[in-house]
Chains A and B, each alone.
Chain A
Amino acid sequence: MQLDSLYQEVILDHYKNPMNKKLSPTYSKEVHHVNPSCGDEITLNVTVEGDLITNISWDGVGCSISQASTSIMSDLLIGKKIDEDFAILENFTELMQSKGTKSGDEEILEDAVALAGVSQFPARIKCALLGWMAFKDATSQALSETEAKG
């Protein structure tokens, strides 16, 4: 397995110039997630308006994979319907668990297909999923709070 299959140019670009990496002061829900095996931390917030994700912003420390993956995720999921975002998230999770058997659907995942190589490095899958799981958690909490308010 070659290093370049993991560290695609797109990933290194996002790592050096991450998108949406500045916490917005206004949001629907904010969460803090930690990867206890390596100490990486992320704070992420989402803004939900109706059935739309209108903003995702985040800050944190982590390896190139976790930082790039969160950057790509935020860019990909902002401005889409929640249902659509959850479908993308599921698609990405399947790609990560594919052990190198899938290359990813570029129509759905766009830049995130660059992370396909991560699935061949079991220790790095958690890194790639850190931001995505934070998004899922924040959005789910925002939705249940909205429902509770009814």
Chain B
Amino acid sequence: MSMLDVASIKKDFPILSKKMRNDGKLIYLDSGATSQKPNIVLEAERRFYSEHNAAVHRGAHLLAEEASEAYEGARATVAKFIGADVEEVVFTKSATESINLIAYSFGNSLPGSRFALQPGDRIVLSEMEHHANLIPWQQLAKRTGAEITWFPVTDQGRLDLSDIDSIISTKTKIVAITHQSNVLGTINPLEALVKRTHDVGAVFVLDACQSVPHFAVDVKKLGIDFLAFSGHKALGPTGVGIFWGKFEHLQSMEPFLTGGSMIESVTMTDATWAPAPRKFEAGVPNMAQAVGLAAALDYLTKIGMDKVEAHEHALTKYALEKFSTLRDVSIIGPTNTQMRGGVISFTIEGIHPHDAGQVLDQHGIAVRTGHHCAWPLMRKMHVVGTTRASFYIYNDTSDIDALIDGIEYAQKYFKV
């Protein structure tokens, strides 16, 4: 059923041959938290340090030239991957930093700027946001007097857009919503949201952490204004995230972090900024990580994002069917595969997620347990936490079979 040759893909990931507890094999179902890394990524980072390492954009020597070429080449790879112009791509340390960059930049805007917020202005979120796309906006609201409003989530784990015209109003300045929920797996329909956002003159920020690694995302086609994603969830290294913004926005935005590299001219009392993207990249950047991320995106491109998506779709369908046969197990999120990615959160009657995760771990099955950095969503769905399995290119149906067996074993073990 799978469109990918998982057996050969697995060979590219050294960690997948690690021996787990009791010499068992690793069944990694936690890619929603972080993905594993193929050799080609590890090798790209190593090669950068062993052959080209120097501070980019400074120095007259060969290494500085090579490092700058590698770093800017990585930017071009990222741009191509998301359908962006190269000068619109900013390297950050994480998606969290990317969203904070937007929030702090807006907060630093001078009065009269289209990004400046005033008391009474609104920031629209949704109830399914990860804390990374919630707390930076809460803090911005507190600093500016703006208000937070949000789209509720239905019992089926979908965004309730029925009041879209009153939730996104003329007071709205920012709409920041996730592309795919890290808890529910729900993929949000963006068209109507983006249209309404622009109709009222606001900007749309997309948290793409759970989408860019898993299916083709084209920022121009989506018509959005800003996007954030993290490298480590897309087979890349930790310590690198992406902030993308429309160039016209980047030009008029204030910087977030300031210091070396991001300047045009400096005196003892003032400074002017380099053009975007460098305006947003203060200090010597995470060069090796950027290069590693580019290697990861090349690897995904070689496989084909359409195939990645189809593979995860097939796995999700298989898993949802298997889950439906389990006794006393509830899925928190959509139970069909329509507009849904490969993230399945569930609860087991009588077994706390932490205990379920412990039993699964005993069988080498790595899952995430708890509130998944989405505490408001947990409260909305009336659960303390969930156990979450998330899929990627190196998973196959045998991993899901092992998960299902593991859940049944947990039920036996705890006699529920």
> How far, in Å, is B131 (CB) from chain A's closest CB?
11
Across the interface, which residues of B come within 8 angstroms of A62, CB to CB? 352, 354, 384
A86 within 8 A of B: no
Q: Is the CB of A7 within 8 A of B413?
A: yes
B167 at the interface (CB under 8 A from A): no
Binds A, one of B2-10, B143-151, B307-315, B369-377: B369-377
Q: B384 near A12 (CB under 8 angstroms)?
A: no
Chain A, Cβ-Cβ closest to B379 = A39
Check A28 for interface membership: any CB of B closer than 8 A. no
Q: Which residue of B353, B354, B384 has the most chain A CB atoms within 10 A of its CB atom? A: B354
Collect the chain A residues with CB atoms within 8 Å of residue B413's CB. 3, 7
- Distance of B344 from chain A, by nearest CB (Å): 19
Q: Say whether, besides A3-B413, A7-B413, A37 and B370 are in contact (CB < 8 Å).
A: yes
Closest to B416 in A: A16
Is A87's CB within 8 Å of the partner chain B? no
Cβ contact within 8 Å between B21 and A1: yes
Q: Given the complex, which residues of B lie within 8 Å of A41, measured CB to CB?
A: 384
**Chain B residues with CB below 8 A from A124, complex form:** 354, 358
In the complex, number of A-B residue pairs with CB atoms less than 8 Å apart:
45
Distance of A9 from chain B, by nearest CB (Å):
11
Query: How distant is the Cα of A137 from the Cα of B369 in the complex, in angstroms?
Result: 27
Chain B, residue nearest A37 (CB) = B370
Contact residues of B: prevailing secondary structure: helix
Query: Is there a chain A Cβ closer than 8 Å to B355's Cβ?
Result: yes
List of A residues within 8 angstroms of B252 by Cβ: none
* Alpha-carbon separation in the docked complex, A39 to B354 (Å): 10
* Contact status B370-A39, CB under 8 Å: yes
In the complex, chain B residues whose CB is within 8 Å of the CB of A38: 353-354, 369-371, 385
Separation in Å of the B22 CB from the closest CB of chain A?
Answer: 8
In A60-100, the 8 Å CB interface with B consists of 61-65
Bound-state CA distance A62–B378 (Å) is 14
**Interface flag for A111 (CB, 8 Å):** no
The answer to whether B354 touches A127 (Cβ under 8 A) is yes
A-B contact pairs, 21 of them (CB 8 A): A1-B21, A2-B362, A3-B358, A3-B362, A7-B414, A12-B415, A38-B353, A38-B369, A38-B371, A39-B375, A39-B384, A39-B385, A40-B354, A61-B384, A62-B352, A62-B384, A63-B353, A63-B355, A64-B355, A121-B358, A127-B354
Q: What is the interface of chain B, defined by CB distance below 8 A to chain A?
A: 21, 352-355, 358-359, 362, 369-371, 375, 378, 384-385, 413-415
Going nearest first, the 4 A-B pairs with the smallest beta carbon separation are A63-B354, A63-B352, A39-B371, A38-B370
| Chain A residues close to B by CB (< 8 Å) | 1-3, 6-7, 12, 37-41, 61-65, 121, 124, 127
